[in-house]
Amino acid sequence: MLIRCLCLWLGLAAVPHGLMAEPGDVYREKGDLKAIVKHGKLRILLPVPSTYENSLPRSGFPIHYETVILQKFAASLNVQPVVHYVDKREQLIPALLAGETDIIGANLTITKKRHKQIAFTVPFETVTEQIICRKSDSIKTLNDLKGREIAIHKSSSFWETVQALRKKQPGIKIKAVEETIPTEAIVDAVAEGKYDLTVADSNLIKAVLINNPELAAGMDLTASRPIAWGLRPQAAALQKKLNKFIEKEQWFRKRHKVYMADWAEIKKRKVLRVLTRNSAASYFLWRGELLGFEYELMKRFAKKNNIHVEMIVPPTRADLLTWLKQGKGDVVAASLTISAQRQAQGVNFSRRYNKVKEVVVARKSDDKIKNINDLAGRSVYVRPSSSYWQTLTQLKKDGIDVVIKPAPEDLETEEIIEKVASGEYDLTVADSHIVAIELTIRDDIKSALEVKDNVLQGWVVRKDSSKLLAKLNAFVKKEYRGLHYNILYKKYFTNKHSINKYVNARVDMGDGKISPWESITRSYASKYQFDWRLITAQMYQESGFDPKAKSWVGALGLMQVMPKTGRSMGFKDLRQPEKGLHAGVKYLAWLRERFEAELSVKDRMWFILAAYNAGLGHVFDARTLARRKGLDPNIWFGNVEQAMLLLSKKKYARRARHGYVRGYEPVQYVRKIRDRYNAYLRLVDNQVLIPKNNGMTAACRTQSVISDVAAVGYDFKVVYISRQVQTAH
């Protein structure tokens, strides 16, 4: 046997996925609508979903929301929607023409070249293709592109556009970027100076410029071009049926940003605009999934009324009611306390959908608050616009000499709690359900004292939206404390989310093994070129080796893979140990391809783990922020991890493409896995550390020198030695 080089714990090449679906769903069929109905399945083809591309919608529908529309279309045909995936966008059209799918559900720009190959639905959006350059550049004319290099994917419509431009301006250079690198990552590379220029669609550019102030949009390379779904040319009946359905749904129509609407108009437009906050209690993005108590309730309300929900995040909490009255939204769903002061602003509250308490939040070590009188002389920080300010003002009137300090209006309650935990603020007041969320992931704060009971929360509408209010009230009356509501409440406010739940367990199993799944772990780690001990450390962090584990957001199995991610990798039953492990390791390999090969072996792995935990998009946001803060965007520990922590602060999250993230979780997640991995290295016998530097001994025990090697900055590789003498390769 040859020594297996464990520097491949990160891996140098990805395993091609091809078409990913369950075996029973894979068949070739080039027929039209009748064939689809006969099979009972509508096969929808997408690229493997990137959690980087799936950004947080602050106004508008989520990226890839079209898939929801296609699922509704399948239901209208009384067939099952089956989503298939390909690893690379260039595989989409060949798979369609080969009869492996019925519809390309990814957004495709309609170009002359593509139109010769396939048919398209009616367009549902138009974009222009634009140059992206650094702000110091000026790309206004074709001559400005002479001698410049444009980095793009060869499979994109941009490649065709730039090739045509080069005929007019031969001085243009084109760099083909690895297909697995997201467009947004190419944009970040332009900001860093790694690439000269790139091209993107105008709708994407608008979003990325928010997070990249050092970039600018240059000249338009095309006129407005339509975006649509792809069909086989012979699928005329399917095309006709789908076009009628798209027109009926109207979700794609351009809408005025500001208008006043009651229920009849909302039903006609088929869109409910929900004003909310990007926070852990209301609405956020995690592992590529849109989550939040308010979001899920509003999504259920919209589904029951056959309309679409559009989440809108104003700049500050104080803007919620202002935007509502200005007609920028139809309803506010943001854990607002029902109060006479707010109703006096010309709005109405729904029936209460939640009941909480207002509690004083202190550091865990603070044992000086036993009763209400102990608040005398203590500084309590809250937003002046919050109901907490009114509660504290009443306490002062009642004779409690509390010092009320104004916190900035753009701080979320969670951020104020963080400042209490760090010692920057003395105390604060928060709703009990917000504190409950905090306590599921941290142990440095506590609910010290209840200051107000029976605090009722409701949704808010304009006074002239009486019909909408009636619909919301009917929904709350039916759902409040019902089965679905209770499941949601438990999911967000009582389940333990903590990644520290397994921290005190021993490293070994007591039988010479480090996990009960060592055999299959070694097998799949080898297949995808990872160190099996690193996979074991991650598996323990995810599930504690329990194949039946289910997380608060629905992740399943040994590697806690989200069901949608599992399906995209070709797996359904994630609670089967081998499938759950295989899906997780395969997803790690997929994430690996989304990072530049130029990254160091160690840091690339830390980025992969952080992306596995929080989502690829949040990691790229953190790298972008690290660069802006003068930190190294290519190093995790002490650099990008610090930027990740900042993304839980509204100041930074509102500029991030993927918004708010509990940065503490991925930071601790990576650290815990690293520490356990190092413990496994020390535990497993017959390991040697072979520094690449020739001046060091070629064989030495890992546990005695690993820290020294790391400290002096040596690159190293760990190799596994069997009991026989073997030859290195």
pLDDT of 702 strictly over 60 = no
Question: Do the domains 256-496 and 23-125+227-249 match in fold?
Answer: yes
- Region 181-198 average pLDDT: 87
Burial class (CB in 10 A: 0-12, 13-18, 19+), 70: buried
Contacts of 317 (CB under 8 A, 6+ apart): 277, 334, 383, 385, 386, 409, 410, 412
- pLDDT band for position 60 (cuts 50, 70, 90): low
pLDDT bracket for residue 496 (50, 70, 90):
low
Q: Is the pLDDT of residue 471 over 60?
A: yes
* pTM over the 0.75 mark: no
Of all residues in the chain, the percent with pLDDT exceeding 90 is 55
For 253-289, the pLDDT digits (tens) are 566 678 999 999 999 888 899 999 988 889 988 776 7
| Range with lowest mean pLDDT among 98-107, 178-187, 685-694 | 685-694
Instruction: State the pLDDT at residue 725.
Output: 27
Q: Greater confidence, 574 or 715?
A: 574
CA distance 718 to 251: 54
The first and second tokens of residue 391, run together, are 């509660």
Instruction: Sketch the domain layout of the chain as residue ranges.
Output: 23-125+227-249, 129-223, 256-496, 685-720
25 pLDDT band (50/70/90 cuts)?
low
Q: Which of 54-58, 76-80, 86-90, 232-236 has the lowest mean pLDDT?
A: 54-58
Domain 129-223 of CATH type 3.40.190.10: yes
| pLDDT surpassing 50 at residue 386 | yes
- Hey, which residues does 716 pair with through a beta bridge? 691
Per-residue pLDDT, 685: 46
Note every long-range contact of 92-95, with CB atoms under 8 Å and residues 24 or more positions apart, other chains counting.
92/45, 92/47, 92/230, 93/117, 93/118, 93/230, 95/19, 95/45
Q: Is 542 assigned a catalytic role?
A: yes
Question: Which architecture does CATH list for 256-496?
Answer: 3-Layer(aba) Sandwich (3.40)
Residue 729: pLDDT over 60 = no
Q: Measuring CA to CA, which residue among 475, 388, 384 is closest to residue 432?
A: 388
User: Of residues 2 and 63, which shows the higher confidence score?
Assistant: 63
Q: Which residue's entry shows tokens 């995790």?
A: 636
CATH superfamily of the domain spanning 23-125+227-249: Periplasmic binding protein-like II (3.40.190.10)
Q: Is 60 exceeded by the pLDDT of residue 50?
A: no
Residues 43 and 84: beta-carbon distance below 8 Å: yes
Higher-confidence residue: 538 or 688? 538
d(CA 515, CA 640): 31
Stronger pLDDT, 547 or 508, i.e. the higher one: 547
Is residue 35 over pLDDT 70? yes
Q: What is the pLDDT of residue 257?
A: 77
- pLDDT at position 184 is 75
In the set 542, 593, 641, 665, the catalytic residue is 542
CA-CA-CA-CA dihedral for 222, 228, 234, 238, to nearest 10? -160
Q: What is the pLDDT of residues 3-18, one digit of tens each?
A: 233 333 333 222 233 4
Least reliable range by pLDDT among 105-109, 246-250, 372-376, 714-718: 714-718
By C-alpha distance, which of 405, 400, 367, 365 is closest to 386?
405
pLDDT tens digits along 633-672: 999 999 999 999 999 888 899 888 888 998 988 999 999 9
